[in-house]
Amino acid sequence: MAATPAIRAADLPSPFSGNLFGIVVDALGTPQMGAPVQLYDRYHHALRKTFTSSDGRFGFGSLSPSHYSIRVTATSFLPASRDNIAIRAGLSSVLEVRLASVFSSIQLQYTAPTSIMSDDWKWVLRASSATRAVTRAMPQLAKRTSSSPENPEKIFSGTRGLVSLSAGDAGSLLSDVGIADFGTSFALETSLYGANQLTFSGAFGESLGSQLPTMAFRATYARNNSEGYAAMPEMTLTALQVSLPNQSGYGAAGSQGSPAVRSAAFSYYDTLDTLDRVHLEYGASLETISYSDHLSRASPFARATVSLGRFGSVAAVYSNGGPPNDLYIHQFGERADLAGMIGALGSLPEFSLRDGHLQLQRTQNYEIGYLKAAGARSYGASAFYEDVKDGRVNVAGDLSPLISGNVLADLSTRTSIYNIGRYNRSGFVASVDQKVNDNLDLAVLAGTLGGFTVAGDPGMRASDFLNRALHPIASLNVTSTLPGLRTRIIGNYEYVAGNALVPRHIFASQRLYAEPGLNFLIRQPLPSFFGVGRLELSADLRNLLAEGYIPVSGGDGHQLLLVQAPRAVRGGLDIIF
C-alpha cells in the first residue's frame, strides 16, 4: 500500500467498481516519471492511457469488475506488461512495475533500411545479464491462456459459447420475447490472435401451430489498436427470415400461402475519447427488408458521456431511424453477455403496412440523462423527445372496424400490428438504485411518458380516434440471487395511471427502463455437463397479469383491444461452455 498515491474519499471505488493503482521504478527502485501506462481489457482492447507522476505513480479509477492488463513503456527501458489483473467491486489493486534497462546490452548501429528487420537484437537481449529476466520469464508465456502478441502460437483464445433450447409463446413483432414457438439458438465468442474479437449467434425456430419456419444469424467483428494493430470500428452483420401467418382479408395484397419477411442489416460502432472527460460513441446501421415491397433504412446514432468527477456524469443521445441496438448492447460499459447476443436476434425491423404497402418505422429521438453513484446507491434522471413516423400498436379481437390495408398479421395469430401513422411524444423518468447486498438489488423508477387513450371510432384514422397525452408511470425492479441454490431472479412491475397505452421506450442514457406489466426472468444453474461447461434452466415471463389491454368499441358494436404488450411465457435450457 505504500506504493499507492494519496487517495481522497472521492477516489475510493463504489461497490460497483474497483481501482487499479501502481508505481513504476527501475531495477534500482528509482521512480520513473512520465512513463506511458496503457490499460487493456480482457480482450486486449485498449481502454485508457495515463502517465506516471513525478514519484512514478499511476492510477485508473472506477473500473468494472473484470480482468485487465497494463503495458508500460519508457525511453531507455524494455516494455513491461502485466496480464490477468483482477479488479473486484469495492476494492483497489496495487502493482509495482520494475523496468529493465536496454542500453547496457544493445549497441547502436546504423544500417540501410530493409523490408525485413534483423532478429539479431533478440539474441543480444537473451545473452545479456542485464536482461536475463526476459529469459527467465519465457516459461510463463507457455502457460498463458490468452493469445497476446507475446504469445502468438495460440490462434484462438478466450473462447466461450452458449446453446439454448427454448419453447413457449412467440411474443409479438413489437417485443423481443422470441420469434418462434419452439427453437434452438447459439452464440459463440472468441479472440483471434489476441487482437480480433469475433462473435457469432444464430437461431432456428418453428411455429408449432402454423409450422412456419424462422431463421436468424448475427456476426460481429472488432479489432483493437494495441501492439501496433490498426484500430477498426465494431462491425455487425445480421440476417433474418420470418414467415408470418396470412390472415384472410389482411396483409399484403396478392400474398399467397405463408409470406416470408427477409431482412439484412449492417452496422458499425466506434468510440472516441476527447478532452479526457468526454466519451463519444457513434455509428450507423443500414437495413433492407423484403415483404410485399423492398425498403431500405439508414439509421445514424451517437451518445456523448461527460464525466463530472464526483458529481456523476451526463449523457446526450441522438438516433434517427431504427433503435440504436449497438448503444443498448454497450450500455453498461462492458460487452454484453452471450444471452444478450441471442436476445438481439429477436429484434426485427419495425415494419408494418400502410394502405397495403410495406413501411418501416422511423423514430427521431433526442435524449439526455444524468447518473450519479453515492456509495451503494445510484441516482438517475432522463428525459426524451421522439418524433415517430409509421408508428405501430398491437391490436386483437374483431379487427373489421380497422382500415384493412393498415393491419399486418403478427407472429402470434391472436394479435396483429396496426399502423397508426405519425405522432410525437416526450417523457421524463427519475430512478434510484439501491444495492442492499451482494445478492439483492432494488430499483425504483417514476415519471411521465407519452401515451394514447381512445377518443373515437376505430374506423377512423388512428390520429383521430387516439388521443396523445402524458401519463404518470412507476416501476419497481428487483434483482436477487438466492443463496445456496444460486437462482438468479430479475423481476419488475410497471404501473400506468389511467386506461392508457404507453409504448415502451428503452433509454440509452440510463440503466433502467419501464417494462409493461409484471415480468420475471429466472435463471437456475444446474450441475456441469459431463465436466464440460454447465447447464442452466431459464424462464421468461412477460406481462403475467395481462395488463394494458384497452377495449375499443366501434359504432356498429364491434369491439377490439389495443394491447400494451401481449402476455408471453417461455422456458429454456442453456448449455454454457
What Å distances lie between residue 290 and 167, 352, 360, 420, CA to CA? Answer: 27, 12, 11, 21
Last residue of a domain, one of 37, 71, 101: 101
Q: Residues 472, 571: one domain? A: yes
CA-CA-CA-CA dihedral for 203, 204, 205, 206, to nearest 10: 160
Question: Among positive and negative, which fits the CA dihedral 328, 331, 333, 338?
Answer: negative
Q: In terms of domains, do 382 and 474 share one?
A: yes
pTM of the model: 0.69
Partners of residue 238 on adjacent β-strands = 218, 265
Cβ–Cβ < 8 Å for 258, 271: no
- Give tens-digit pLDDT for 446-504: 999 999 888 766 656 665 678 888 999 999 999 999 988 889 999 999 998 878 888 88
Are 82 and 171 members of one domain?
A: no
Q: Does the residue 130 lie in any domain?
A: no
Q: Decide if pLDDT at 528 tops 90.
A: no
CATH code: domain of residue 379:
2.40.160
Residue 425 φ then ψ, to 5°: -155, 170
* Domain assignment of residue 17, given as a range: 9-101
Q: Let me know whether 455 and 541 are in one domain.
A: yes
C-alpha grid cell, residue 332: 453498461
What count of Cα atoms within 13 Å lies in the side-chain half-sphere of residue 118?
Answer: 9
- Comparing 228-232, 281-285, 319-323, 431-435, the range with the smallest average pLDDT is 228-232
pLDDT at position 366 over 90? yes
Judgement on whether residues 171 and 96 belong to the same structural domain of the protein: no
The answer to whether residues 386 and 529 belong to one domain is: yes
Residues 6+ apart with CB under 8 A from 456: 464, 465
Mean pLDDT over 153-181 rounds to 73
Question: What's the CATH number where 95 sits?
Answer: 2.60.40.1120
> Average pLDDT, stretch 66-78?
84
123 domain-assigned: no
Least confident of 224-233, 468-477, 564-573: 224-233
Any domain includes 2: no
352 with 236, same domain? Answer: yes
Q: Are residues 235 and 301 in the same domain?
A: yes
Burial class (CB in 10 A: 0-12, 13-18, 19+), 274: exposed
Q: What's the burial of 125, exposed, middle or buried (CB within 10 Å: 0-12/13-18/19+)?
A: middle
Taking residue 151's Cβ as centre, other Cβ atoms within 10 Å add up to 18
Say which residue, 193 or 228, is predicted with more confidence: 193
Is 527 within the bounds of a domain?
yes
Output the pLDDT for position 121: 44
pLDDT, residue 461, reads: 62
Flag whether 138 is in a domain.
no
Instruction: Assess whether 65 and 168 both reside in one domain.
Output: no
- Tell me the C-alpha distance between 14 and 61, whole Å: 10
Count of domains observed in the chain: 2
Are 44 and 191 within 8 A, CB to CB? yes
Please tell me the distance from the alpha carbon of residue 69 to that of residue 83, in angstroms, as a whole number.
4
Residues near 110 by beta carbon (within 8 Å), at least 6 away in sequence: none
DSSP 99-136: EPBSTTT---------SS--SHHHHHHHH-GGGHHHHH
**Structural domain contains residue 143:** no
Within this chain, do residues 470 and 395 fall inside the same structural domain, yes or no? yes
Domain annotation covers residue 137 = no
Domain assignment present for residue 112? The answer is no
Average pLDDT over residues 437-441: 89
Residues 205 and 58 in one domain: no
Among 85, 101, 117, the domain-final residue is 101
| Cα 336–chain centre separation | 5
- In terms of domains, do 479 and 565 share one? yes
210-223 tens-digit pLDDT? 566 788 888 989 87
Strand, coil or helix: what is 247? coil
As a dihedral over the C-alpha atoms of residue 329, residue 548, residue 521, residue 367, rounded to 10 degrees, the angle is 20
Q: Which of 83, 101, 119 is the last residue of a domain?
A: 101
